[in-house]
Every structure is written in C-alpha cells, then in structure tokens.
Chain A
Amino acid sequence: MNKQELKTYLEQTFPAAKVEETFDFPLMFVDKSELLDVAQKLKDSKETLFDFLFCETAIDRNPSFEVVFHLSSTTYHHDMMLKVVLEDRNNPELPSVYSLWKAAELYENEIFDLFGIRFTGHPNLRRIMLGDEWPGFPLRKDYKDDVNVVTL
C-alpha cells in the first residue's frame, strides 16, 4: 500500500483512532488500553503485515509523554507511526510490545532509562545506559543537573 492507501485503510479499520498525515509516514494515535490489540491487528492482518518495529522512542511534551512506534512491513515495504499519549506524568506506564516484536526489549529499556516510562510485561526492565544509582531521568524536560549542565 502506498501512503495514501494506508492512511485510508487505517481510518476505515480503526474508526476510534485519530489518523494524521505527516511528511513521511501515516500517523495513528491509539489509547494505551487498546495498544496491544491494535498492534496485534496491524502485525497479523493480511493487508498490513507490520512485522518489523524499526524504532520505538518517546517524546516529553511536558506535562504529557508520547511513546512512538515506527512500524515497517518487510513484505509490502510500507511504514507507519503509532503514538500513545501518556497523561500521568508521575506514574507513566503502558503495556510492553515485547510479545509482538522482540526488538522492543532494548528500545523499552532505553526509554525507561532516559524518560522513566515503565512497561508492564517487559521481561527485564532495567537502566541500560546510565548506572543503577543514577538520580532522575535525563531526557525529561524538568530534569535538573546543576553540576554538569549549564543552562541559560
């Protein structure tokens, strides 16, 4: 499917979700309670076959977080973006997609390390790059480091 066809397909298949067009991939917002069902459908249905999670990352929109999934299909060579908005800043949590794409393990470790977003059902959620003793989550907008970082 090309970009336009994919966007139309997503709008028809998931009427509850908001679909947007970006300059590269179609973008779909899903609720975190529906994330696993939607992702399962996108991965398994004959029309899309999104079998490859090529990037998973997070954005701090202060106060909310967005977790972004970049999906790709090795059969059809089409791509899309999936976003989940997390409103609860003090306790950000969403289900892990490790059961669908094994690649999510390291991505989710990294997101946990730098943003402090917890993934339920992740096999080994740990601080992967910073040390275990590290205070805070450096990529959050409200992270303060008076020793190392000079702010204007």
Chain B
Amino acid sequence: MDVNKDFIPEFPGDVYKDETGKTSFIVTSVDSIANWARSNSLWPLSFGTSCCAIELMSTVSAKYDWSRFGFEVMRASPRQCDLIVVAGTITYKMAPVLKRLYNQMPEPRYVIAMGACAISGGPFFYNSYSVVKGVDNVIPVDVYIPGCPPRPEALIHGMMTLQEKIKASKAYVIEKKPEDNDSM
C-alpha cells in the first residue's frame, strides 16, 4: 500500500497518509514537535500590578483576542501556567510574591516584561524607595516589550516573538552528571 505526503499548515515535519486513511504517520524531530506544541498553547498567569494590566485585559478580550495566536485562557493558579506577563510596577513588597509565583510554575516557564516599569522601574517611579528597578532583578526575562503602556498590538508582537524564541530553542536539555563525561 502506498502512502502519500499530506500537507498540514505550519506543522514542523512531514505527514504521510494512504488512500484509505487508516494508515498515517509523521516524521519529525522531538525538538520541533515539542516546541510546536509548547509555543502554540501558552497559558498565561492572570497577573497584573498596574496600568499595563488594562492593556493586557484589552488584549485578552474580544477586540484583540490573543487566543487567535494560541495563548488561550488565562489561569489564576501558577500551577497551571507556563507564562507570566509582568504587567506593571513591581515594588519591594511585591517582589517576593512574584518570585514565589514564578517558582510555583511548572517548567518550561517563560516570562515577559511588559512596559517601562517591568523593564527598568518605570518612567516615573524609578527614583523611589519602594520600586524594583526592572523585574529581571527578581526573575529571568525572555521578552521585553517597551512602552508606557504598550499597545495591545505591541503585546501581541512580543508574544509572537516569544513563540519564535520557543520554536528555536532546545526542547529537552538533559543535564549530564560529571562522572558520565569522564567515561565517554
């Protein structure tokens, strides 16, 4: 029985089918299919600390609708999330909470710093006793989105940049113990 190559848009690999449709298989690499799945189903944490959160809500809702790009539902529990969008000013009182939320998220996890406050402490609050000067002092950041606040288009662009970054990354990194290296 012959199998023919089938076409599925944006699928990272080759799909084969026979005429009956009973036999089908795919040829791809583990990295690309895992990254394909991960990048198209990011579940963000509903986390917003100031005005950037309003733009974030606008991006979630019907007019901009980031579900179109695979960001889907926002989750209220960090256990169910793999993306945290830091939307707003982080104060020294909020920083330990953010750190704990980040630690509670299952890996692989991603962070987007949205707006001037999350990047550098903000255009207004940087000279303050209470504001953390950039969220990357607390948790590692994947994508920075400048703006005060960024428009929803900018946020969507940042999210799609994150998708590209995920697609270009190694899906499974196995850390070898030092003694394994010696035997090789």
Interface residues of A (CB under 8 A from B): 129-131, 138, 143, 145, 148-150
Q: Chain A residues near B131: list those with CB within 8 A.
A: 148
Is the CB–CB distance between B130 and A130 below 8 Å?
yes
Is the CB–CB distance between B93 and A138 below 8 Å?
no
B128 sits at the interface (CB 8 A): yes
Is the CB–CB distance between B127 and A143 below 8 Å?
no
* Interface members, chain B 107-136 (any A CB < 8 Å): 127-131, 133
Sample of 11 A–B contacts (CB below 8 Å): A129-B93, A130-B130, A131-B92, A131-B93, A148-B127, A148-B130, A148-B131, A148-B133, A149-B127, A149-B129, A150-B127
Smallest CB separation, A138 vs chain B (Å): 5
Interface residues of B (CB under 8 A from A): 92-93, 127-131, 133
Is the CB–CB distance between A138 and B127 below 8 Å?
no
Given contacts A130-B92, A130-B130, A138-B129, 17 further A-B contacts (CB under 8 A): A129-B93, A130-B93, A131-B92, A131-B93, A138-B130, A143-B129, A145-B129, A148-B127, A148-B128, A148-B129, A148-B130, A148-B131, A148-B133, A149-B127, A149-B128, A149-B129, A150-B127
Smallest CB separation, B79 vs chain A (Å): 26
Q: Chain B residues near A148: list those with CB within 8 A.
A: 127-131, 133
Q: Chain B residues near A129: list those with CB within 8 A.
A: 93
- Measured CA separation A131–B131 after assembly (Å): 13
For A144, the closest partner residue in chain B by CB is B129
Q: Chain A residues near B130: list those with CB within 8 A.
A: 130, 138, 148
Q: Chain B residues near A150: list those with CB within 8 A.
A: 127
Smallest CB separation, B65 vs chain A (Å): 37
Q: Chain B residues near A131: list those with CB within 8 A.
A: 92-93
Q: Chain A residues near B93: list those with CB within 8 A.
A: 129-131
- Measured CA separation A143–B128 after assembly (Å): 12
- Measured CA separation A2–B92 after assembly (Å): 45
For A131, the closest partner residue in chain B by CB is B93
Q: Chain A residues near B127: list those with CB within 8 A.
A: 148-150
- Measured CA separation A24–B138 after assembly (Å): 45
- Measured CA separation A129–B130 after assembly (Å): 10
Smallest CB separation, B133 vs chain A (Å): 8
- Measured CA separation A129–B92 after assembly (Å): 10
